[in-house]
Amino acid sequence: MKVLVVGGGGREHALVWKLRESPRVTQIFCAPGNAGIGRIAQRVPVSADDLPRLVAFAKNQRIDLTIVGPEAPLCAGIVDAFEKEGLLIFGPTKKAAEIEGSKVFCRQLLQRWRIPSPEFAVFDSPAEAQTYVRRKGAPIVVKADGLAAGKGSFVCLTVDDALRAIDAVMRERIFGPSGDRVVVEEFLEGREVSVMVVTDGHTVKPLPPSKDHKRLKDGDQGPNTGGMGAYCPVPFVSPDLFDHIVETIMKPTITALASEDRPYRGILYGGLILTKDGPKVLEFNCRFGDPETQAVLPLLNGDLAEICWATVHGHLHQLSFGWKKGACVCVVMASAGYPGDYEKGKVIEGLEEAEALDSVYIFQAATEYQNGLLVTSGGRVLGVTAVGKDFAEAVERAYGAVGRIRFEGAQFRRDIRPPVTN
């Protein structure tokens, strides 16, 4: 089987790494990939957003299966474009991917189908949104309607913070047309958890829950990022609670999409919060999470290529796979200045020493070679990942590896681990 992976971040590195284990996979291409991916797959110099060239490449190379990592090509209709040409591709159609592409659509869908989620209001006028915020008070949440690379949600502790967020999104246009509308939501308290399921539109198979750390700094301080680390599984999600989430949130959402002529196939990712009134939906994503994928896939006791193949063909019910015991921790090392402006081209050292450690995997996210040296090429640079028999071992291994890696201005959180419970 010849496989094409679309994307070039740490998530895609993890996907390629896991696909290489499959005896069915003979060749892997990745468009555009990164320096780390280039060590284990053939890079294709095509942007993940260049749908016509991706289709042409898949046709010319007779690709058997394409797997899409990022949300932007999915929301732009890459699945529709591939299927129109008779090409097999893992992921939801453009209509189904709108569950991530539009916060407004997502909130209204969940409201129609009474799937647990916060109260909300939608605005296309900044003045009206700000009047609403003044009336409601704070804390309150402001979200850009469209895609914003994981940075379009503002948890505002004061009314002034919310007013500034609305200005930034709707007047300053920091996310461009994604800020044409905003969703203003009720602030919910509780622990957050990420739940991903794979579905062919009929059968739903859950992946173990994981925990993303969105804020830049320790203790969930600082600005939102694309994710500074993750761990799997989640000790504070019991098997019964997990089953409840799958049965009352994940499956009903897939049913709702199908009922509205948006059949869903691929990975559905739920960003959830565990409130005193039960789990509720903060967001849905239409693809593998990043960095959650880096923390989940090392625990998969199964063939990722087979899972994606069965999903595309509607045969997921015929497939069984399991999960390894133990724990996995992924710590993101980012460039100085991220998630704001940052410099590129910083030389990365110590990678080989870190990779030589037991049960450590370095998933490269924003790396390239420059004059024979591995250098940074973006905000989130590396996902330093480790597996252990328990969290204590996984955390020790992950941070032991982080301590061996150096590049100018590197920043990372030191608290990627489950909370201590008495």
What CATH number is associated with residue 173? Answer: 3.30.1490.20
Catalogue the long-range contacts made by 88-91 (C-beta closer than 8 Å, 24 or more residues apart).
88/64, 88/312, 89/65, 89/312, 90/65, 90/66, 90/265, 90/266, 90/308, 90/311, 90/312, 91/67, 91/265, 91/266, 91/267, 91/286, 91/287
| Residue among 363, 348, 354, 339 at smallest CA distance from 399 | 354
* Residues of the domain holding 236: 191-323
Q: With 80 as the cut, is the pLDDT of residue 210 above it?
A: yes
3-state helix, strand, coil in the chain (%, to 5): 35, 30, 40
In a domain, 419, yes or no: no
The answer to whether the beta carbons of residues 297 and 15 sit under 8 Å apart is yes
Q: With 50 as the cut, is the pLDDT of residue 6 above it?
A: yes
CATH of the domain at 389: 3.90.600.10
- Residue 274's pLDDT band, with cuts at 50, 70 and 90, is very high
Residue 20 and residue 142 share a domain:
no
Token readout for 331 is 């710590």
Q: What pLDDT is recorded for position 362?
A: 98
Q: What pLDDT is recorded for position 422?
A: 45
Residue 341 and residue 296 share a domain:
no
Residue 229 and residue 160 share a domain:
no
Residue 49 and residue 35 share a domain:
yes
* Interior/surface letters 312-351, b for 16+ CB within 10 angstroms, e for the rest: beeebeebeeeeeebbbbbbbbbbbebbeebeeebebeeb
Strand partners, 193: 272
In a domain, 418, yes or no: no
Report the chain's C-alpha Rg in angstroms: 21
Residue 319 and residue 199 share a domain:
yes
Residue 350 and residue 296 share a domain:
no
pLDDT tens for each residue of 61-113: 999 999 999 999 999 999 999 999 999 999 999 999 999 999 999 999 999 99
pLDDT tens for each residue of 123-156: 999 999 999 999 999 999 999 999 988 788 999 9
- Which distant-in-sequence residues (6+ apart) come within 8 Å of 131 by Cβ? none
Provide the CA 69 distance to its chain's centre, in angstroms.
8
Distance, in Å, from the CA atom of 157 to the CA atom of 135, rounded to the nearest integer, reads 15
Q: What is the DSSP letter of 298?
A: G
Distance, in Å, from the CA atom of 407 to the CA atom of 212, rounded to the nearest integer, reads 24
The count of domains in the chain is 4
The answer to whether the beta carbons of residues 181 and 124 sit under 8 Å apart is yes
Residue 198 and residue 317 share a domain:
yes
Distance, in Å, from the CA atom of 326 to the CA atom of 397, rounded to the nearest integer, reads 13
- Of the residues 76, 93, 110, which one is the last residue of a structural domain? 93
Residue 11 and residue 81 share a domain:
yes
In a domain, 98, yes or no: no
Q: What pLDDT is recorded for position 224?
A: 86
Neighbours of 53 (CB within 10 A): 14
Instruction: Provide the mean pLDDT of the chain.
Output: 97
In a domain, 256, yes or no: yes
Alpha-carbon separation of residue 216 from 8, 157, 212, 397 (angstroms): 22, 17, 12, 21
Span 243-266, average pLDDT: 98
In a domain, 88, yes or no: yes
pLDDT tens for each residue of 308-364: 999 999 999 999 999 999 999 999 999 999 999 999 999 999 999 999 999 999 999
Span 288-309, average pLDDT: 98
Q: What percent of the chain has pLDDT over 70?
A: 100
Q: Angle formed by the axes of helices 304-313 and 10-19, to 10°?
A: 100
- Of the residues 93, 117, 148, which one is the last residue of a structural domain? 93
In a domain, 300, yes or no: yes
pTM of the model: 0.96
Alpha-carbon separation of residue 148 from 144, 151, 152, 169, 356 (angstroms): 7, 5, 5, 10, 36
Pairing of strands 204-206, 191-199: antiparallel
Residue 332 and residue 316 share a domain:
no
Residue 27 and residue 148 share a domain:
no
CATH of the domain at 89: 3.40.50.20
- What is residue 73's three-state secondary structure? helix
Q: What pLDDT is recorded for position 149?
A: 80
Segment (H or E) for 301: strand 300-301
pLDDT tens for each residue of 222-235: 988 999 999 999 99
In a domain, 135, yes or no: yes
Please, what sign has the CA dihedral across residues 14, 16, 20, 25?
positive
Q: With 60 as the cut, is the pLDDT of residue 300 above it?
A: yes
Distance, in Å, from the CA atom of 320 to the CA atom of 132, rounded to the nearest integer, reads 49
Token readout for 110 is 């969940």
In a domain, 131, yes or no: yes
Task: Enumerate helices (H) and strands (E) in the chain, giving the number of each.
Answer: 14, 24
Residue 365 and residue 316 share a domain:
no
Q: What percent of the chain has pLDDT over 90?
A: 97
Residue 344 and residue 312 share a domain:
no
- Residue 421's pLDDT band, with cuts at 50, 70 and 90, is low
